């Protein structure tokens, strides 16, 4: 076993910081590109009766002087989702009429308006869902394993959340309600991989000889679960890449968040969660020895 994951843990911490810090700076300077689900606005979905290009639709929307048009997504050959600032009934009717006149006959599938009150409630509920999920994971992990492993698992989850948020802020990719669903899925995936490793650590602790150092034991556990972790993440990544390329623009942001989160989750399970737990165990032993000497 020539490669030692745990002894090189400071390098993994530096790698994580090199990814997370630029994202944090971007979050502080330019924030996230929030969609109408969070800021309020209008969402118009139409289906043209003949194939139409996105450039034609964009020209019509721009010609309506809607100013802050936040995005036009094409879904399939003839379906389009148009996100704009909040429109009045007259503005919506004018937009539909112009699309019919300049881009082709169409059917109106959806014309929703999201007000600032609803978007505020969505932000609050999304944050509450994340906090509840993290709290329940901490309780479950503490009961099944130990409290310190629960803390290490939460650190890995925070790592993954910051990586995804930072990347979306750096690239200014639109964040909508589907992004929240992706974040909750990422949390589930991250903790799943971490639990597998901690489970193996617990088994090895039970069978270990007293002289084996905790770093060696955890490193041995990581090697024993490494093939499974790589196979699992590659299987998921293959599916997500296929969805990103062929799934249409409507789900691209969701799939991209999942893709970044799944890769980050696999990394954090091996290079963050386990080393952080080892760090806490070593500090605990060091503190115990110092207390005994005193």
pLDDT means per 10 residues, the chain with 294 residues, are 83 95 93 78 85 83 67 76 81 86 85 68 77 84 86 91 93 83 84 88 82 87 90 92 82 89 92 92 76 64
Buried-exposed string 33-72: b where 16+ CB fall within 10 A, e elsewhere:
bbbbbbbbbbbbbbebeeebeeeebeebbeebebeebbbb
In terms of Cβ atoms closer than 10 Å to its own Cβ (0-12, 13-18, 19+), residue 183 is buried
Quick count: other Cβ atoms within 10 Å of Cβ 236?
A: 17
Phi, psi angles (nearest 5°) of residue 146 = -150, 165
Would the CA dihedral through 264, 270, 275, 281 be positive or negative? Answer: positive
pTM: 0.78
Listed in sequence order, the residues at least 6 apart from 15 whose beta carbon sits closer than 8 Å to its beta carbon are: 271
Listed in sequence order, the residues at least 6 apart from 129 whose beta carbon sits closer than 8 Å to its beta carbon are: 180, 184
In angstroms, what CA-CA distances link 268 with 1, 113, 131, 150, 293?
21, 39, 19, 14, 36
| pLDDT value for 180 | 82
| pLDDT value for 12 | 93
């Amino acid at each position: 076993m020539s490669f030692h994951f745990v002894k090189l843990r400071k390098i993994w911490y530096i790698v994580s910081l090199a990814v997370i810090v630029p994202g944090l700076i971007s979050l502080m300077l330019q924030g996230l590109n929030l969609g109408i689900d969070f800021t309020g606005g209008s969402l118009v979905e139409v289906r043209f009766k003949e194939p139409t290009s996105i450039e034609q639709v964009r020209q019509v929307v721009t010609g309506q002087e809607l100013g802050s048009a936040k995005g036009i997504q094409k879904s399939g050959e003839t379906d389009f989702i148009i996100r704009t600032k909040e429109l009045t009934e007259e503005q919506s009717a004018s937009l539909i009429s112009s699309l019919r006149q300049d881009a082709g006959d169409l059917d109106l599938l959806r014309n929703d308006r999201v007000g600032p009150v609803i978007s505020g409630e969505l932000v609050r509920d999304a944050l509450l869902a994340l906090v509840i999920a993290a709290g329940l994971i901490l309780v479950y992990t503490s009961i099944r394993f130990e409290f310190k492993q629960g803390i290490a698992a939460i650190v890995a989850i925070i790592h993954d959340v910051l990586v995804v948020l930072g990347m979306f802020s750096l690239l200014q990719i639109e964040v909508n309600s589907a992004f929240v669903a992706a974040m909750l899925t990422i949390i589930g995936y991250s903790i799943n991989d971490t639990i597998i490793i901690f489970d193996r650590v617990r088994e090895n602790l039970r069978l270990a000889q007293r002289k084996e150092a905790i770093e060696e034991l955890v490193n041995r556990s990581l090697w024993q679960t490494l093939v499974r972790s790589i196979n699992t993440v590659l299987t998921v990544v293959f599916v997500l890449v296929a969805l990103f390329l062929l799934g249409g623009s409507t789900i691209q942001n969701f799939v991209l968040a999942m893709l970044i989160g799944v890769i980050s989750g696999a990394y954090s399970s091996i290079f963050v969660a386990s080393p952080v737990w080892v760090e806490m165990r070593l500090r605990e032993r060091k503190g115990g020895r110092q207390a005994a000497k005193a």
